[in-house]
Structure 1
Amino acid sequence: MIPVAAGLGVVMMAGTVWATTSVAQNVFVGAQPEEVMPASSMAFVKLDLKPDGSQLTDYARFVNRLPASLRDEVDPEADPAKEVVDAYIEEAELDGVTYEQDFEPWLGGRFGAAVWNAGDAGSGESGEALAVAIEAEDETAAEETLEKIRSQVDTEPAIDVDGGFAVITEDSAALDHLDSQVASGGTLAENEVYTADMDAIGADNVASAWMDLERIAALGGGDSEAATYDGYGQPGPLESLEDYEEVRGRMAVGLRIRPEYLELRGDAFDLGVDGVSLADYDVPEPGLPVMADLPDDTKAAFGGTGISDFAAQAYEDDPDEFADLEGMMSELGLTMPDGIGSLLGDSTAVGITDLGGSLDQFFNGTSSMPSLQYRAEGADSGAVEDVVERMWEGSYNSPPGVTSEGSTTIATSGTTGTGRLGDDPVFEKTMADTGSAHLGVYLDLRPVAESTDEDAPDQWGAVGASVGYTQEAISLQARWAPDGG
């Protein structure tokens, strides 16, 4: 009896945990669109306009940091779905359909769309099928509205309202195939590869996307509709994939709102093209301190570490791909691949400190040389100086001055500040994770806003992005950090 009692106790405990978790998911989190999409999906996008309490607090604090000119346009009481639905009703010329009467009573805040290969079962010319999931808080009302719309449109979409979502496909064949895929292979929410990839980019995303590049690339050729943007035959984002014989890997992207910034996070996993991947290269140590050492008045900056090492490895693998660069280096008196290392060193950064000339050229059609500073840790100062002299030979402008600061070679043109960019709170907030990055880009929006006669240019803050990689994955982080609060 003891083993039986113990077994019953475990079962009851497990049942209690399951029930508690299930209730918590339904009450505090709710159904997710990936729960009604097939595990065989090759691409999935999701929009979540149903934040929890902590997210709402973050959103409110971020709105308060927006520039005043943007903050005045934000209506905290507005329904984000109404404008979209009203536009659709007008475009589709629907009679007797309004947002307030037909959508507001049931429309939830979560939306998703998935693409999978349905073979001959789908309507796509190459077998791709598409399904859209719309959260339905009242399934009966949702079904009535969608049936009302279907009676007025020229196409014959298939609709299934169940599990808290209205699932819409192009036709009944695609819906039947979706059901069979879920029955045989489960849902996307049960796909361990998908869940692991999404966990890597973090939760609390307002919008997110995931794709299997290998399977998507297979749709890029032939007569696939996936290779075009629309029915007009315009080139689509997959058309370039036709140039490669083999593409593999997956990508996950998420957009989230934090109290002080808007952040885009994206990861690429197991990425490879025509048999070449990061696993074939020695990955340098991350970190962009040389970028933080740029002058404190830097308006735009780019930094990279290990670029010369990657270039050298790639050159040894396939020198023919570097023919143009090799010719350019020869004109500068350098040879590949050592010449790249002589100029770039181990870590490199370029900062523009005076955007006046560049902005005048953009807005007023005038031009002048910008002030800038180039820093290269471990570069050959003699080689840098020689290249500068060659490039400015015959120019009416004075060439940049080349100096050394320890092991760092510095080339400066025009007037630059004497402090460090890394000490600027705006830069620090925008580029918080440069310690784990291999590439970085930074743009101070304050001078840009000033050039457009913005009333409060200091409130626009800055945007920045950093990329880090290992032999298994590439990670992107981009932020906009306004300062209007």
Structure 2
Amino acid sequence: MWMVPVAAGLGVVMMAGTVWAATSVAQNVFVGAQPESVLPGSSIAFAKLDLRPSGGQLAGYTQFVNRLPDSMRDEIDPDADPAKELVDSYIDEAGLDGMSYEEDFEPWLGRHFGFAMWVPDSEEAATESGGTTMAIAIEAEDEEAAEAALDEIRSATDEDTAFDVRDDFAILAPNSAALSDLESQVESEGSLEDLDTYNQDMEAIGTENVASAWMDLGQLASTAAEDSGSGTGGYGLDEYGGVQQPDPMESLGQYEDVSGRMAVGLRIEPEYMEVRGDTFGLTVDGVSTADYDLPDPGLQLMGDLPDDTVFAVGGSGAADMMGQAYEQNPEELSDLEDLMSELGLTMPDGLTSLLGERTALGITDLGGSVDEFFGGATGPPSLQYRAEGADSQAVQNAIDTMWENSYTTPPGVTSEGSVTVATSGTTGTGRLGDDAVFKQTMAGTESAHMGMYLDLRPVAESAEESAPEQWGAVGASVTFDAETMSMRARWAPNGGG
């Protein structure tokens, strides 16, 4: 599940460039050469950014920008070029006083960018942690101008970066050995564009993406394991703005046997921005979803939560999946077994007693929950729990046990047909599924196995935004079968510029 925040992070990083592409005048709109055409098919990780959308994409981007909250849209300069800001910053840092974006970069700098990492054949080419090397491909609309600019940069700096300009791209590598290795890899293995597996995976997530990435998880895991053994910690995220979160490469490297691939894409639709990440043939330590009896999908219970729900999670078959995992490896879930024992239940049947076949939890007072997190709440948050097929008496007994020494009122337990309902505090009387923002945010996720929903309107209101209703909501879902796991994260703003 570390893949979900990685995918979301990719979307956030690319947002500024996407807004520029959505609101700028479309000049010379066409689908030109793509960076995977000049990067090696042996790549174990690849990412690209496309700031030259097709006419249809541009129309969708413009509509999406018009749905952004006023306070965000007011900060957007539709004529701004993100490349200029980046290049100007580099010129200043590198001390290239005789160069300028307008004279030396704008005439040739295209809008297709790519990055690839691979394991080189020569040790001299290995410049990154884990014995890998990398290269960047930048679209060059004027190859002579690109070569002249890069030549001037190399002459004016002490950097060892090697470059080549060919096939409509300027290709930059850490040193000449890495560049030579890239060329030999492409010659012997073909380019990434020639790799059928890559093309099939990218087609699965859709081709209308402004940014995308592809990874060979097995190769990355091997590389990460070697890197962790060296103690270099070369894949940490702290250097990027001081982000404090688990290192995904370190998490991947702790497993002995990983195989499979992952593709991630960021796309913009008129009503939302979505990051989608799919895994293909993923196995971890010999285990995959193919080893489980997969439950029927469905997030219907989330729609039955109160209409004032601010945060909701839901799932189908969670008890069954966890029960199968317990039977395969009970030692890994010993803590859960102890918890169930404290509630007077046994594994794995006790899971079904509490969770049922489908489960949903909704919190209706996010402000109180935030206060509680910071130690200022006077009581628990208002919430509703719904479990289809659960044992109402088991749920009641579990609540009685958990609230045995509490001074607060425990949730009340009722039944609505086959659904056990536990409610605490004050909740709305309508259905969340009838809310227009919920429908917009969670559209197309009805057949997912797991889902999450967060209404940003009360969050924006607590932040004293002038138009909190324009922030809409964010949602996420996970769907899986025997071969593929698909994860989606979506933001659906509700501005009306």
Give the TM-score taking structure 2 as reference length. Answer: 0.89
Q: CA deviation at 1:227?
A: 4.2
Does the CA-based 8 Å contact 1:252-1:267 persist in structure 2?
A: yes
2:126 maps to 1:123: yes
Q: How does 1:50-449 map to 2 (within 5 A)?
A: 50-121=52-123, 122-124=125-127, 126-220=130-224, 221=226, 222-223=229-230, 227-229=234-236, 236-361=247-372, 365-449=376-460
Q: 2: CA distance between counterparts of 1:208 and 1:69?
A: 28
Residue 22 of structure 2 corresponds to none
Q: CA deviation at 1:425?
A: 1.1
Structure 1 runs of 4+ with >6 Å offset: none
SS, match of residue 270 in structure 2: coil
Does the CA-based 8 Å contact 1:123-1:171 persist in structure 2?
A: no
Residues 246-287 of structure 1 show CA distances to partners (whole Å, capped at 9, x for unaligned) of 011100000011111011111011111111111100111111
Does the CA-based 8 Å contact 1:226-1:236 persist in structure 2?
A: no
Q: 2: CA distance between counterparts of 1:330 and 1:227?
A: 43
Task: Say if 1:183 and 1:27 are closer, same or farther in 2 by CA, change over 3 A.
Answer: farther
2:465 maps to 1:454: yes
Q: CA deviation at 1:172?
A: 1.0
The unaligned stretches of length 5 or more in structure 1 are 1-25
Q: 2: CA distance between counterparts of 1:385 and 1:236?
A: 40
Q: 2: CA distance between counterparts of 1:254 and 1:443?
A: 22
Matching residue within 447, 460, 463 for 2:474: 463
Task: Say if 1:158 and 1:224 are closer, same or farther in 2 by CA, change over 3 A.
Answer: farther
Does the CA-based 8 Å contact 2:39-2:182 persist in structure 1?
A: yes
SS, match of residue 411 in structure 1: strand
Residue 10 of structure 1 corresponds to none
Q: 1: CA distance between counterparts of 2:478 and 2:91?
A: 42
Residues 199-237 of structure 1 show CA distances to partners (whole Å, capped at 9, x for unaligned) of 0000111111100011111111233867433899x9853
Q: 1: CA distance between counterparts of 2:319 and 2:445?
A: 19
Does the CA-based 8 Å contact 1:208-1:255 persist in structure 2?
A: yes
Q: 2: CA distance between counterparts of 1:463 and 1:231?
A: 26
Figure out how many residues of one structure are paired with residues of the other and give that number.
Answer: 459
SS, match of residue 29 in structure 1: coil
**What letter is aligned with 2:370?**
L
The unaligned stretches of length 5 or more in structure 2 are 1-27
Identity %: 63
Residue 34 of structure 2 corresponds to 32
Q: 1: CA distance between counterparts of 2:378 and 2:87?
A: 46
Residues 380-424 of structure 1 show CA distances to partners (whole Å, capped at 9, x for unaligned) of 000000001111112111000000000000000011111111111
Q: CA-atom RMSD, angstroms?
A: 1.9
Task: Say if 1:197 and 1:349 are closer, same or farther in 2 by CA, change over 3 A.
Answer: same
Q: CA deviation at 1:87?
A: 1.8
Q: 1: CA distance between counterparts of 2:478 and 2:318?
A: 12
Q: 2: CA distance between counterparts of 1:278 and 1:236?
A: 24
Residues 120-178 of structure 1 show CA distances to partners (whole Å, capped at 9, x for unaligned) of 25133643110100011111111111111112232211111011110000111111111
